[in-house]
Amino acid sequence: MAGHTITEKILARASRSEVVHPGQIVDGSVDLLYMHEMLAMALLPFNEIGTLKVWDPSKIVVTLDHWVPPPTPEIAKMHQTIREFCRTQGIQRFHDVGDHGIVHQLIAERGYAQPWDLVIGSDSHTNMVGAVGAFAAGIGATDTAAVMATGRLWLRVPETLRVDIHGRLSERTGAKDVILKVIGTTGDDGARYAAVEFTGPTVKAFPMNERFVLCNMTTEMGAKVGMIEADQVTKEYLAHAGRPFREIRSDEDAAFAKTFTIDVDGMGPQVACPSNPANLKPVEEVEGTKIDVAFLGSCTNARIEDLRIAAGLLKGEKVARGVRFQITPASQNIYRQALKEGLIEIFMDAGATFTSSTCGPCFGGHMGTLAGDEVCISSTNRNYPGRMGSPQAQVYLASPWTVTASAIHGEIRDPRKV
């Protein structure tokens, strides 16, 4: 009997089927639905469906993240609508401004998603949460409304692409460089409709913060979900949530559509150049490119470990003249931790700007957008034209090490040389 992938195991459980196979359409019972401001867009179709009540308020989490704090009266109003909806629907896990975080980070750090869960999020980077061994997929507003009303979602069981990563990375090189390399290899649609599962010694040695980076950017491969087996590292990360933990892994004899074996031994920092996440160059080839803005933020790379990297490089240094370096933590919890550890003071002394947690700059929404002639190096996940502001702005994607080293030098810099 052939074995099954993590995806197949979770979707079989969620659809109460004995087994499921790639290509099959299943009707999944959702264990966790999470939303940010897209809830406001989803209310239009939700009200049209007309069930009036959500299917199960205890399975829903909502936070505000895209526009925190609200930059316009219209968005403040949108937040009011969401707040009011959560109150009347009895959604207890509503994380309002003050208790907020970028939704994927908030879900991860609060332990809301567990291995074996079918998790649906109203955002394309829901893939990140699959790093805990969940099936976590992003959807749009109408699908969100459908899940709110019925607790169910049709899903095509995806094929699984396995990405097997070996080797020891060079210094000051991490998961961000690895995933940029993977995307550079597969292209930005190399995993369209598929599940991507990371494995191999390099991945198993990564702590959770790095595993989240890998799964986060499977979205930039076109993947439906990204995932990593739930092991001891996962268990320790989720321990504080106090929920029973069940390991999950693909069977040895499961059918993978394809396996990419990537040797990263000695690999150094990588950079995705304008204006596609797959437009990859090793850092050496873009060194010296002048920058105007450096941004350390987003669900991809703004966890406490990333902030520590930035602080380590910035200590006793200054951000280059004429460069604005903005650091935006991925959640309030991370903000608090950075405060405790004295990181914020280091950022301020160096001349960087430290802000409250929000998606703002990452999607060009507010609190730091780019002018047409600006060049930015960013720890985020996308650099399509117009993503961070003007369509003419040039955005390079890189690791927290490379972003910080570049901020100090005013040009793209190999962090190993700082």
Partner 1 sequence: MRWMIHQFRGPVWTFGDDISTDHIISGKYLGTTDSKAFAAHAFEAVDPTWAKKVKAGDLIVAGDNFGCGSSREQAPIALKTLGVSAILANSFARIFFRNAINLGFPVLECPGLRRKVNAGDVLEVDMARGEVRLPSGEITRFNALPPNVLEILEAGGLVAKIRAELSPKSS
The H-assigned helical ranges of 51-131 are 73-89, 103-109
Q: Single out the segment in contact with ligand SF4 by CB under 6 A; choices: 19-27, 133-141, 161-169, 355-363.
A: 355-363
100 binds partner 1, rule: CB under 8 A: no
Contacts for 232 with CB less than 8 Å, ≥ 6 apart: none
For residues 201 and 391, which CB has a smaller minimum distance to partner 1 in the complex? 391
Q: Secondary structure of the chain: what % helix, strand, coil (to 5)?
A: 40, 20, 40
Which of ligand SF4, partner 1, none has residue 299 at its interface (CB below 5 to 8 Å by kind)? ligand SF4
Which of ligand SF4, partner 1, none has residue 407 at its interface (CB below 5 to 8 Å by kind)? none
State the minimum distance, in angstroms, from the CB of residue 40 to ligand SF4: 15
Q: Which amino acid is at 234?
A: T
Distances (CA, A) of 310 to 316, 327, 405: 12, 9, 8
Q: Single out the segment in contact with ligand SF4 by CB under 6 A; choices: 42-50, 141-149, 241-249, 356-364.
A: 356-364
Report the sign of the C-alpha dihedral through residues 160, 161, 167, 168, in that order.
negative
Which of ligand SF4, partner 1, none has residue 71 at its interface (CB below 5 to 8 Å by kind)? partner 1
| Run of H or E including 178 | helix 175-186
Among 37, 109, 123, 177, binds ligand SF4 (CB under 6 A): 123
Q: What is the DSSP letter of 394?
A: E
State the minimum distance, in angstroms, from the CB of residue 219 to ligand SF4: 8
Among 141, 182, 183, 208, binds partner 1 (CB under 8 A): 141
Q: Interface residues for partner 1 in 356-385 (CB under 8 A)?
A: 363-365, 369, 382, 384-385
Among 127, 381, 402, 406, binds ligand SF4 (CB under 6 A): 381
For residues 141 and 362, which CB has a smaller minimum distance to ligand SF4 in the complex? 362
For residues 202 and 357, which CB has a smaller minimum distance to partner 1 in the complex? 357
Q: Single out the segment in contact with partner 1 by CB under 8 A; choices: 108-116, 134-142, 159-167, 233-241.
A: 134-142
| Run of H or E including 238 | helix 232-238
138 binds partner 1, rule: CB under 8 A: yes
CA atoms within 13 A on the CB side of 90: 8
Q: In angstroms, rounded to a whole number, what is the distance separating the alpha carbons of residues 231 and 244?
A: 13
Which of ligand SF4, partner 1, none has residue 102 at its interface (CB below 5 to 8 Å by kind)? ligand SF4
Q: Is 90 left (phi over 0), alpha (psi -120 to 50) or beta?
A: left
For residues 170 and 369, which CB has a smaller minimum distance to partner 1 in the complex? 369
> Do 227 and 196 meet the contact criterion of CB atoms below 8 Å apart?
yes
Among 354, 363, 396, 401, binds ligand SF4 (CB under 6 A): 363
Rounded to 5°, the CA angle 145-149-150 comes to: 115
Q: In angstroms, rounded to a whole number, what is the distance separating the alpha carbons of residues 349 and 343?
A: 10
Q: In angstroms, rounded to a whole number, what is the distance separating the alpha carbons of residues 256 and 43?
A: 38
Using CB under 8 A, count the residues that bind partner 1: 51
Residues making contact with ligand SF4 (CB under 6 A): 102, 123, 125, 298-299, 359, 362-363, 380-381
